[in-house]
Structure 1
C-alpha cells in the first residue's frame, strides 16, 4: 500500500483536503469479493474517532480509497520522530479515543486487525470549554477489517495478511492466522505500552539482538521499578499512578491466552476513570 498525494476536492458546497490510499490487487474473484466486503464495512462505519470515508474507485487491479486528511500525522511519528513530545493529557486522550473506536467496532462485530501506532491519526480540534485546541485521535486503515458472524461471540476471521507487525500481532494470529475481538485487544495493549513508555514494540538496544517492549515492561514490574518504564520525555508532567495503571492495563491486554484478556468495555471503564477532574495534569 502507498498513500497518494494530497488532493483538494469539492464535496457538495465545501472544499477540503482528502487523503488517497492506492494499492493493487490480483484479478481473482476472491480479491473482488474482499474489496466489496471492505467497502461495505467502510460505508457502514461512522464514529468521531474513526477517519471518515468519502468514496472509492477501482479499475482492473488498481484501487483507490478516499478518506479525510488529518494534518498532524500519525501516532508513530508523534511518539518516535516528532521534535515536540506529546503531553501526558494528550497521551491519555489518545488511549481513550481509540478505546472508544474499538468499542464501537466490536459492538458492530467488526475486527480492525491492524491496530497500531501508524494507523492512529492525530487531529487538533477546538475545545470551547477549555478555550484551546485539543488532540483527537482517529483510527485509520480498514483494508484488513473483517465482520464477524452475527451472534457468535467466539467467532474469528481468517487472515491472509502477509505483513504481520512484529511485537504487535497476537500469538493466535501468528500461529493459526485467526483474528478475534481479543486480537484487537492484544494490539491495543501494545499501543498502550508504546504511548506510556515512548518505545517501539521492538526497539534495538545495545548488547541485545532482540527487544520486545512487553517483556521489558514485565521485567521492570518484577523488579519493582515499573515507574522507570515511563517515557523520560514527559519529565515530571504526569501522574505516576495513572501511568503505572496504564502499563498494568497494557500487560493485561497482552496476555498470551486470549481468554484472559479484558474486554473492550472493561478497558473503557478503566481508562475513563483516569479522566476524573482530580487527575488532570496541565
Structure 2
C-alpha cells in the first residue's frame, strides 16, 4: 500500500509539474511576443538590424515611452557571449557621454540574455564607408572622427577608472539621425586603474585593428585603443577597409600603403576617390597624419588621445614621422579571444609589415 500511495503521489506531482511548466513557458512566449513581435519569435528576418559576433540585433518598440530601440539577443550557444553580456552590463551601464551608445536596459531570464540600446537611425559607419550606402561628405567624416576622439578621451581620462574598449572599429561606431557618431559594443571592454592603464589578458579584438604589441603580449592599453582609433581614421579618409584583398598587393594593408604614400610625398593621393576631391585639403592631410601617428608600430611613439584631439583641432603642430614605416617583429602565443566576427588563430609568429 505504501508503494502504491507513493507512486500515485509521484505521478500527481509530475502531472502538476508538467502543467505548471507548460503554462509558465506559454506565458513567457506570450510576453516575448508582445514585447518583440512575431518577427522576434518566428521570422528571424523581419525587424532584424544585423548580426554580431555573439548575437542578433532587432528593432524593438517600447510602448510606455513611445520609443524605438535596438534589442540584442545573445546567442545561447556562445560561452563568450555570456562574458560579453556581463562586461557590457557592468561597464557601459556606468558610463554617460553623448558619444557613447546608451544602454537602456537588460534582461536575463530563462536562459535568455537581452540587451536594449537606443536605436541609432543611420546604422554603423562601416555600412557607409564599405557597403555602398549614401556617400558621407567630408564635413560629416571629419566630425565623426572628432566625436570618436571625444568618446575615447572620456573613456581613458574622465572617469573614476580608465576604460579600455579593445574593439574600436568602423562597425562599432554608430550614427544617429544627425550623423553624430557614438561608440558602442563594450563586450570586450575592461576597467583598469588610471595609474596602470593596461591589462594583460587573452588576445581580443578584430584583425586589421589590433595593435602589434597586443598580438605579442596580449596586453591591452590606452595605446592599443589609440592604434585602433588611428586605423579607423585612415579608413574614413581613404574610404576602404584596413585589409582588403581586391587592391594591388602593395595596397592591401591600408596602413603600409598610406605610410608609403607619405614617404613619397604623395599623401593626398590616398584620399577616398568617391569624394571627387570635395574635401578640405588641410583637414585631410591632418587626419592622415594623425592616423599614421596613432598606428606607429612602437606604442611609445603614439600620442595620447588628448594630444590627438589637440592636433585634430589645429591647436598643436603635426607630428614628425619617419618617411619609412618602422618594422616590428613579434613572436606571439595567441589565445582564442579574437573577436568572433573574425577567424581565430593558434600559436603563430606575426611580422608587422613595413
Same fold by TM-score, threshold 0.5 exceeded?
Answer: yes
Larger of the two Rg values belongs to structure? 2
Q: CA 1:139–1:266 in 2, change beyond 3 Å: closer, same or farther?
A: same
Inter-partner Cα distance in structure 2 for 1:136 and 1:20: 21
Give the 3 Å change call, closer, same or farther, for CA 34–82 of structure 1 in structure 2: closer
1:244 to partner: Cα distance: 1.1
User: Which SS does the other structure have where 2:113 is aligned?
Assistant: strand
Whole-angstrom distance in 1 between the partners of 2:120 and 2:102: 10
Equivalent runs, 1:1-282 vs 2, <5 Å = 1-11=54-64, 14-24=65-75, 35-59=85-109, 62-107=112-157, 108=159, 109-125=162-178, 135-148=179-192, 150-161=193-204, 164-206=205-247, 208=249, 211-273=252-314
Distance 2:268 2:82 in 1: 49
Q: CA deviation at 1:173?
A: 1.4
Using the size of structure 1 for normalisation, the TM-score is 0.84
Deviations 1:113-163 (A, max 9, x none): 1100000011123xxxxxxxxx20110101111100x242443251353xx
- Other-structure match for 1:278: none
Q: CA deviation at 1:209?
A: 9.0
- Secondary structure, aligned partner of 1:249: helix
User: Are the counterparts in 2 of residues 88 and 238 from structure 1 also a CA contact under 8 Å?
Assistant: yes
> Does the residue aligned with 1:273 lie in a helix, a strand or coil?
coil
| Cα gap change, 1:232 to 1:272, in 2 (>3 Å) | same
Change (3 A) 1:211 1:41: same
Could you state the TM-score of these two structures normalised by the residue count of structure 2?
A: 0.68
Which position in structure 1 is the counterpart of 2:319? none
8 Å Cα contact 2:250-2:257 kept in structure 1: no
Aligned pairs, how many? Answer: 259
Structure 2: distance between partners of 1:205 and 1:34: 33
Between the aligned partners of 2:250 and 2:267, the Cα distance in structure 1 is 23
Whether contact under 8 Å (2:230, 2:295) holds in the other structure is yes
Structure 1 counterpart SS, 2:223: helix
Post-superposition, which runs of at least 4 consecutive aligned residues in structure 1 deviate over 6 A?
25-28, 30-34
Q: List runs of 5+ in structure 1 lacking aligned partners.
A: 126-134, 275-282
CA, structure 1 residues 139+208, in 2 after alignment: closer, same or farther (shift >3 Å)? same
Q: 1:60 to 1:176 in 2, by over 3 A?
A: farther
* SS of match in other structure, 2:198: coil
CA contact (8 A) 1:5 1:19 kept: yes
Greater relative contact order (Cα 8 A, min sep 6): structure 1 or 2?
Answer: 1
Query: Aligned Cα RMSD in Å?
Result: 2.4
- Report Cα offsets for 1:154-176 as digits up to 9, x if no partner: 43251353xx4222101121222
Q: Which runs of 5+ in 2 are unaligned?
A: 1-53, 316-354
265-274 or 100-109, which deviates more: 265-274
Greater shift after overlay, 164-173 or 214-223? 164-173
Q: Report the CA distance between 1:206 and its aligned residue.
A: 4.8
Distance, in Å, in 2 between the alignment partners of 1:267 and 1:26 is 40
